[in-house]
């Protein structure tokens, strides 16, 4: 469990860097006169930082503490590994859709975000929703590890 917990924290730190770099998009948008309109990069920045850094780091720290609280089953490690990759794919998917998906859809429907083209905007948000749902699947795996695959040590009682 120690190795997987460190992998969560390392990936979380990497996603922090991506989230911080993504923060320059909204900043540049607002500095160049975009204050009157919302910036499509702002949610990507927040999702990369909160789901990526905060979420993965907390998951990793909880996994690090599990052996102190109880005995994880062999199945717990498999679920934790699956959760790690599902979480990483989902955060990177949100990031990619937010930047590259936005730019691609904007080529087909220019300004769809600012003067909403409902169909294109809904497509873009639905892709985001699919990746958020994938992250939720990872959270369910986390709960399965925590509630179903860890037995209390006698000392912990």
Q: What is the pLDDT of residues 135-155, one digit of tens each?
A: 999 999 999 998 887 776 665
Give the pLDDT score at 157: 53
> Cβ distance 144 to 79 under 8 Å?
yes
> Cβ distance 134 to 85 under 8 Å?
no
Return the domain boundaries, the chain.
2-152
Quote the CA–CA distance of 66 and 151 in Å, as a whole number: 10
Distances (CA, A) of 87 to 37, 59, 145, 156: 31, 10, 15, 30
Reported as a single tens digit per residue, the pLDDT across 20-73 is: 887 777 777 667 765 555 667 777 778 888 899 999 999 999 999 887 777 777
The most distant pair of C-alpha atoms in the chain lies apart, rounded to whole Å, by 63
**Rounded to the nearest 5°, which phi and psi values hold at 68?**
-75, -30
Note the pTM of the prediction, 2 decimals: 0.84
């Amino acid at each position: 469990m120690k190795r997987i917990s460190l992998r969560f924290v390392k990936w979380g730190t990497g996603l922090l860097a991506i989230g911080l770099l993504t923060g320059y998009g909204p900043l540049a948008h607002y500095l160049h006169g975009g204050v009157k309109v919302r910036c499509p990069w702002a949610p990507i920045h927040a999702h990369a930082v909160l789901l990526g850094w905060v979420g993965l780091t907390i998951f990793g720290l909880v996994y690090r503490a599990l052996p102190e609280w109880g005995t994880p089953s062999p199945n717990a490690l498999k679920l934790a590994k699956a959760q790690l990759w599902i979480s990483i794919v989902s955060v990177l998917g949100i990031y990619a859709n937010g930047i590259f998906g936005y730019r691609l859809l904007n080529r087909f429907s220019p300004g769809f975000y600012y003067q909403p083209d409902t169909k294109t905007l809904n497509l873009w948000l639905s892709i985001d929703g699919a990746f958020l749902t994938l992250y939720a699947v990872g959270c369910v795996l986390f709960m399965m590890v925590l509630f179903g695959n860890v037995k209390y040590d006698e000392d912990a009682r």
